[in-house]
Amino acid sequence: MSGDGPGAAGTRALERLVGFGRQLRARGLPVGTGRILVFCRAAAALAGGGGLDRDSLYWAGRVTMVARREHLAAYDEAFRAWFPDAKDQMLATVGEWVPKTELPPEIEVVLEEGFQEESWRPPSPEEGGEEALVGVLASNAEVLRTKSFTELTDDELRAAHAVIRSLALELPTRHARRWRPSPYGRRFDQRRTLRASLRTQGEPFRRAWRDRRRKPRPLVLVLDVSGSMSTYSRALMQFGYAAIRAGRQVEVFCFGTRLTRVTRALRVGEPDRAMREVAAKVSDWDGGTRIGASLKELLDRYGQHAFLRGSVLVLCSDGLERGDPELLGVQMARLGRLAHRLVWVNPLKGSPRYQPLARGMTAALPHVDRFLPGHNLASLEALCESLG
């Protein structure tokens, strides 16, 4: 191509292309100057000196200026708005002005005008939403923290859920199979010592040590969803949801009179949707709670699975067992042997007058490592701390 620079038609076409990049940016896509440049080069390469069809231009832009799947819909819309016509005059002239490999300096000036790549950050709508919620929360944070979940309004509950999801969950760790170098490690690292000794004529001046990598233990949530317990369990489910999203090994079960695994539903969708699904499955809301039988089902079906053994198991229930308390005691003992740590969250404990006198509770308590209330945000924070 000639180095004469674009003519009048070319300049207009260029402005269209650059304008499209800016349009994307205006719609919230993180499109920097660099990307717009690459887009122009791509359009030029595809045109190969001739014209360009609209479809190719679409792909040139999509491949060069979109970097996330979530942005594809926004891109499509912007493209339709900016290049509505397949017989666009601009398309025919693209190849005439764009040099194949480099853009003339004046175009770079056009591109640089008025915006800087690094300082610009698009406001993401979801983030905005979360921030707004947290904003509401900050104004009356203390009230919200100490109010029981059952006393919160819907809006407050949503805000509380957002906070729960953001709680940093620190799980205790266990040794993994693989080794990593560590100056305070307990094992001698022959390999690295030898390697270092080669720099000193084979004399091992520097000794290297290694240690096992540590992995967070799996978290298992077993949530009572019968009657009044569902509000508390819903809060804990946010917990499980966040942990799954953080890539942790998490299993979530719900129970009333029988046990349902909801890990899958949580992995696929939102916690509230999972909760509705559970509600559909647990038909006997007023049938009472059979904790012992549900735990037995958990142990019989999943006792051999890797996620129970050595896990941190959090059981949320009021402990009002309708079944046989003795069965509950036996199952808790089994669980206690299998899990690394057994935490019982009982919202009733939030009341100062509460005493664990129910027969189910007394049967279970000897096997429980931690007994916590978990009826409001503050106590969930405490739960979070006690897990690590």
Partner 1 sequence: MPAGEGAGPGALPVASVEELVTALREHAYLADHGLATAIWLALALDKPLLLEGEAGVGKTEVAKVLAELLGRRLVRLQCYEGIDASQALYEWDYSRQLIAVRAAQLGEQGVGDLFGPEFLVERPLLAAVRAGADAVLLIDELDRADDEFEAFLLEVLSEFAVTIPEIGRVDAAHPPAVVITSNRTRELHDALKRRCLFHWIDHPSVEREVEIMRVRAPEVSETLARQVAAAVARLRAMDVAKRPGVAETIDWSKALSFLGAVHLEPETAAATLGALLKDHDDLQLVRGRLDQVLEDL
SS3 297: helix
Q: Does 81 bind partner 1 (CB under 8 A)?
A: no
Interface residue with partner 1 among 76, 77, 102, 385 (CB under 8 A) is 102
Residues contacting residue 198 through CB under 8 Å, at least 6 positions apart: none
In one letter, which amino acid is 276? R
38-46, 137-145, 280-288, 325-333 -> range binding partner 1 (CB under 8 A): 38-46
Residue with tokens 């069965």: 327
Instruction: Between 138 and 194, name the residue whose CB sits nearer to partner 1.
Output: 194
Per the CB < 8 A criterion, the answer to whether 198 and 263 are in contact is no
Instruction: Between 8 and 73, name the residue whose CB sits nearer to partner 1.
Output: 73
Residue 174: φ, ψ to 5°? -130, 165
30-38, 136-144, 300-308, 359-367 -> range binding partner 1 (CB under 8 A): 30-38
The Cα 202–Cα 85 span in angstroms is 73
**DSSP symbols for 54-73:** HHHHHHHHHHHH--SGGGHH
Interface residue with partner 1 among 46, 141, 365, 382 (CB under 8 A) is 46
Q: Does 56 bind partner 1 (CB under 8 A)?
A: yes
In the chain, count of helices (H) and strands (E)? Answer: 17, 9
Binding residues among 150-179 for partner 1 as defined by CB under 8 A: 178
Q: Does 59 bind partner 1 (CB under 8 A)?
A: yes
State the minimum distance, in angstroms, from the CB of residue 195 to partner 1. Answer: 5
Interface residue with partner 1 among 24, 25, 35, 367 (CB under 8 A) is 35
State the minimum distance, in angstroms, from the CB of residue 196 to partner 1. Answer: 10
Cα–Cα distances in Å, from 347 out to 148, 149, 156, 275, 371? 9, 9, 18, 19, 10
Residues interacting with partner 1, by CB under 8 A? Answer: 30, 32, 34-35, 38, 41-42, 45-46, 48, 55-56, 59-60, 62-64, 66-69, 72, 100-102, 178, 180, 191, 194-195, 198, 201-202, 213, 247, 261, 264, 267-268
